[in-house]
Amino acid sequence: MDLELRHLKIVRAVAESGSVSKAATRLGVAQPALTAQLKRIERALGGTLFERDRYGARPTPLGELVLSRARVLLPAAQELQDEALRFANATEGGYRIGATNGPVLGGLVDRLAAAGPVSTYTSWSARELASMIAQGRLDYVLAGACGEGPPAGDITWITIAIDPVFVLLAEDHRLAGAKELALSDLADEQWAVTPGDGCFGDCFAAACTRAGFTPSTMYETDVATCVHLAQVGRAVVLCQATHPFAQGLVMVPLAGAPLRWRQVLGHHPASPCASWVAEHAKAAHADAVRRSPVYHDWLVRNPGWGTSP
């Protein structure tokens, strides 16, 4: 039997799991089948790889040798596969863009479509999208973060814009006519927000604590449901300042901008067109700002926010 990468993965799994039974569960195979496969691998390599007893499985000196090579070869093979995927997909032309909920995707697609075919993929998870970049399944990701660090993944991020977070209220809400609201003005409200895997929930809770209250019910749901809950007066929606007009709702800024949202473009470090795509993304964001009179007016009074230079 010739040794293959899948055999090295089995050896690594047994070593990292500490037992054959745990490794079988991890790999999704039956324990007897994995035991038989391990014996075939040991015959091919000429010796026992693990000492096994009721306490588990521990690598023998031969096992340690094989593991040391596996820890080099397996990541190298994965890197080769990822690079090959990126190269193959790049030669096909076009742009593959993933995005979480945000104001930039539509305008960016419109601009890039003039230069070549565009495909899109949407997810609430920035981590999922970043992993798809690393795997060569996407070229660019539009995501957001409320903190300073990258949203997720070992890829490169370019800041497109820094926006304040506003609130959506029903047009007949008691505070709908306000030019601006303190977060504490909404202490008795229920809340709605679109989901994500970043730190926004923690940032919101911290902002409420600073404002002197603990938020009550938080509905985490899709955009349409958030809008509906606001329209019927069931919740105040936390939204990006570029949120498009929705019938029956008004958008109101929060005094002092206690929450912010950083729009970012993620790409593989080797991407040759990242700066060019980022400029188109910034232009798409600037268009979204112009379509939002409330945000445009707020920026006049609060320079330094909005589309990045």
Average pLDDT for consecutive 10-residue bins of the chain (309 residues)? 87 92 89 90 91 89 92 86 63 79 91 90 92 88 85 88 96 95 96 90 93 92 94 95 91 96 92 91 96 94 93
Taking a C-beta distance cutoff of 8 angstroms, is the pair 20, 31 a contact? Answer: yes
pLDDT in tens, 123-168: 999 999 999 998 888 999 999 988 777 787 789 999 999 999 999 9
CA distance 25 to 40: 19
Q: How far is CA 302 from CA 164, 177, 255, 305, in A?
A: 10, 20, 11, 7
Helices (H) and strands (E) in the chain, counts: 10, 12
Q: What is the pLDDT of residue 91?
A: 43
Taking a C-beta distance cutoff of 8 angstroms, is the pair 129, 100 a contact? Answer: yes
Task: Decide the pairing of beta strands 56-59 and 50-53.
Answer: antiparallel
In the three-class reduction of DSSP (H, G, I as helix; E, B as strand; rest coil), residue 154 is classed as coil
Domains and CATH numbers, the chain: 5-78 (1.10.10.10), 91-159+265-296 (3.40.190.10), 161-260 (3.40.190.290)
For 118-132, the DSSP string reads EEEEE-S-HHHHHHH
Which residues have C-beta within 8 Å of that of residue 186, sequence separation ≥ 6? 167, 175, 236
Residue 218 bridge partners (DSSP): 191
> Which phi and psi (to 5°) does residue 259 adopt?
-130, 145
Q: Is the pTM of this model over 0.95?
A: no
Rg of the chain over all Cα atoms, to the nearest angstrom: 26
In the three-class reduction of DSSP (H, G, I as helix; E, B as strand; rest coil), residue 72 is classed as helix
CA distance 174 to 95: 46
What sign for the dihedral angle of Cα 147, 151, 157, 160? negative
Q: What is the pLDDT of residue 89?
A: 55
